[in-house]
Chains A and B, each alone.
Chain A
């Protein structure tokens, strides 16, 4: 998409514009990683109807696998990354399988709990996972190279996901979201598609998680914490659930906004929470949805646009 390309160019331009400021580059790298998490979360939440409160399970698993290999073995890097990627996708079963058996509200609870189990495991088995110290390595890639990789990955994620949701697969997922019983009755193999959606979501999340590890040169149990996955939900929701791009921008924008708020950082978390409450109560379609409906008030509505506005659950 042209717009993504233009944004990418702008992001690239930031590098020389700030004179290669490590601070800004690192900040944007982290923000882009969050945007990938938010967008991949949206696939499950907005399009498949699975409100995943444990999204960081995928990224965390991938990051830890990569970390464990990097710290303990000497294997060529492409293989290490592949291992992490596959591990992350495999971890999607931990959330995918329960989703087949329980109704949506309880899915929320189960997805909430699974990463917490991983949190306890990584905190407790200190000799393998480093406990609260986590796993660290010496820096492998330069800040700029990670920045460019993450930028490309983010664009890639949004583009591929958009193609997916517009395809037959996407329509199938949305029909599952709308009415699971009917979908089943019509002959759709619901379990398969749910697991597939989880796997795809996990795939992108894992790649972002691996980038996160090389960006920080470290991974710790906090990646599995409640706040970590909650962040993803807030970003995706605030950005615009069911819009992919909106979620991605939600991730990016919120990360930057929080850094902006550093001078009043005591009030940061509470503002975050208040923002969540406000969005949930006032903007069902997220800020993106709000923006879309605002734009519509000044234009003639197309059928496609009004569909987007109704995408609130």
Chain B
């Protein structure tokens, strides 16, 4: 039994981290608490579904198209809406919350509220230390880790990545260094949305797809971000692992029903005692 927890913990650690990275990125760089992030993940799932099921595109193409569409959507939302309210955090929360609701309703009205399914990219399963894991889960986990690593490398090594980190650290100083802050915001939003889309296409084959899962994903992204703190990619990964394992351990040793409560409690405790998170570098 412990082996199951260990193995599944890794799967969900990677997926949670991926979900949270896009969210925390845009927050650390532009101070935008994007409540619509979870919905972006959900919409990505639906775009893939519609392309595959209704328009009969091949799966690979649909996935690429889905990611591209969501990245574009993210940029549009930023440019059209979020940019204008960048000053007031409270109102941004309301705005993105409203946008999230609009996205959820748009999907319900157009595609329908019932559960849909996205086909697996690979079929079959294998056994890891005695635990049955589907190839899809393995694939999703591996890809998630790759993406996390790529993101980290990008932020550390590339010029744009360093510019992004500079803006996150101190916007005004970055501006005086000649960085086009506005452009950085847009790029960051694109990256954030892309990460969300990737999280969506990786998670969709593993679980049910309904419009409301957006809120659940948002909650998970929140929890990981709060626990991990902003400013560290690997901090996110570790936080993702902690959350995933706490959930599994609570489910196994205490009761599955209290899984969410345990995560909420962690969130609350972190906010109260270490608001900047375990690995947070930024001010809160």
Contact = CB atoms under 8 A, between A and B. Distances in A.
Given A120-B261, A269-B101, A104 B275 contact: no
B187 interface: no
Interface in B71-94: 81, 84-85, 88-91, 93-94
A277 interface: yes
Interface stretch (B15-23, B41-49, B155-163, B264-272): B264-272
Contacts of A103: 275, 284
A51 interface: yes
B260 A120 contact: yes
A102 B91 contact: no
Interface in A221-280: 226, 230, 233, 237, 266-267, 269-270, 272-274, 276-277, 280
A277 B105 contact: no
Contacts of B109: 266-267, 270
A153 interface: no
**Is the interface on chain A under 10, 10 to 19, 20 to 34, or 35 or more residues?**
20 to 34
Interface stretch (A108-116, A143-151, A164-172): A108-116
A147 B251 CA distance: 46
A281 interface: yes
B14 to A, nearest CB: 24
B105 A273 contact: yes
B271 A110 contact: yes
Nearest to B257: A124
A276 B268 contact: no
Contacts of A267: 109
**Is the interface on chain B under 10, 10 to 19, 20 to 34, or 35 or more residues?**
20 to 34
A226 B257 CA distance: 19
B67 interface: no
A270 B105 contact: yes
A116 B89 contact: no
A276 B98 contact: yes
B202 interface: no
A106 B257 contact: no
Given A51-B90, A98-B268, A113-B267, A106 B105 contact: no
B279 interface: no
B272 A102 contact: yes
A98 B226 CA distance: 15
Given A113-B264, A233-B94, A280-B94, A106 B271 contact: yes
A237 B261 contact: no
Given A51-B93, A269-B105, A281-B84, 20 more contacts: A105-B33, A105-B90, A109-B222, A109-B271, A110-B268, A110-B271, A113-B268, A117-B261, A226-B215, A237-B94, A267-B109, A270-B102, A270-B109, A274-B98, A274-B102, A276-B98, A277-B95, A277-B102, A284-B91, A313-B90
A-B interface, 4 closest residue pairs, ranked by CB to CB distance from nearest: A273-B101, A270-B105, A276-B98, A277-B98
